[in-house]
């Protein structure tokens, strides 16, 4: 009977120890622009998982309770080039910081509609807004959120930890389709 209790206690302690090690695996770092300024609100997530976060006001991020493995880390921020990096996560704190360069791509004409089927603007069965590239360049917005708030009073954005959540006339993200140059975004 003593052997059974000793074996059970050993297994329980081993499980608790391995659980505590898994709880201490984390990924942290800083996201900044070309000049070294921190990027607040940059999206940092592990591809193929639902694990991610946004950077704080100092451009810092922390993802905790990871399993040791190799992940694809994605970092994105409006106006800068997307970063995709393979990171090997081991026990303890893993640090990966990135300096992101400015994107040279310009946002073209934006068509916002409530349906994915093509219609002429005047015959669209749902509220549809067409925003020309001329209107976009006249606003001089830094990101999509600023652009839409300036050009369309029917849009509203609510910030969350994984980015902005768009609403149009009270409808959530699930009911909105944004097309850029005819391609779903």
For residue 81, what is the domain's CATH number?
2.60.40.1120
Q: In terms of domains, do 83 and 122 share one?
A: no
Helices (H) and strands (E) in the chain, counts: 3, 14
Q: What is the pLDDT of residue 22?
A: 46
Of 75, 99, 123, at which residue does a domain stop? 99
Q: What is the pLDDT of residue 28?
A: 95
Q: What is the pLDDT of residue 158?
A: 72
Within-domain flag for 104 = no
Of 61, 77, 99, at which residue does a domain stop? 99
Q: What is the pLDDT of residue 74?
A: 92
Number of domains in the chain: 2
Within-domain flag for 105 = no
Q: In terms of domains, do 123 and 171 share one?
A: yes
Alpha-carbon separation of residue 6 from 2, 12, 15, 20, 66 (angstroms): 6, 10, 14, 21, 31
Q: In terms of domains, do 8 and 75 share one?
A: yes
In a structure prediction context, what are the per-residue pLDDT tens digits for the chain, which is 185 residues long? 666 565 555 655 555 555 544 458 999 999 999 899 999 999 999 988 888 899 999 999 999 989 999 999 999 888 888 899 999 999 899 999 999 998 877 656 566 655 556 656 566 666 666 777 777 777 777 777 777 777 777 777 776 666 667 777 777 777 777 777 777 76
Please spell the DSSP secondary structure of 89-124, one letter per residue. Answer: E-SSEEE--EEPPBP-PPP--EEEES-SS---GGG-
Evaluated on CA atoms 27, 42, 57, 53, the torsion sign reads: negative
Write out the residue range of the structural domain in which residue 50 sits. Answer: 2-99
Within-domain flag for 145 = yes
Q: What is the pLDDT of residue 93?
A: 92
Q: In terms of domains, do 87 and 167 share one?
A: no
Say what the pTM is: 0.49
Q: What is the pLDDT of residue 70?
A: 93
With 0-12 / 13-18 / 19 or more C-beta atoms within 10 angstroms meaning exposed / middle / buried, residue 36 is exposed
**Assigned token pair, 123:** 């015959």
Return the number of other C-beta atoms located less than 10 Å from residue 54's C-beta.
19
């Amino acid at each position: 009977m003593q052997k059974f209790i000793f074996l059970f206690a050993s297994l329980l302690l081993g499980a608790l120890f391995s659980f505590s090690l898994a709880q201490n695996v984390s990924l942290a770092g800083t996201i900044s622009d070309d000049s070294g300024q921190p990027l607040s609100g940059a999206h940092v997530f592990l591809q193929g998982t639902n694990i991610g976060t946004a950077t704080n006001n100092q451009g810092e991020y922390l993802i905790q309770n990871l399993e040791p493995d190799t992940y694809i880390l994605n970092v994105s921020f409006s106006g800068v080039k997307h970063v995709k990096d393979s990171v090997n996560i081991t026990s303890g704190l893993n640090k990966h910081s990135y300096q992101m360069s400015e994107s040279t791509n310009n946002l073209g004409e934006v068509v916002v509609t409530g349906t994915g089927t093509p219609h002429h603007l005047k015959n669209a069965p749902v509220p549809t807004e067409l925003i020309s590239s001329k209107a976009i360049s006249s606003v001089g917005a830094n990101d999509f959120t600023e652009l839409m708030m300036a050009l369309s009073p029917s849009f509203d954005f609510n910030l969350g930890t994984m980015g902005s959540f768009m609403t149009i006339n009270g409808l959530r993200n699930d009911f909105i389709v944004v097309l850029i140059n005819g391609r779903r975004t």
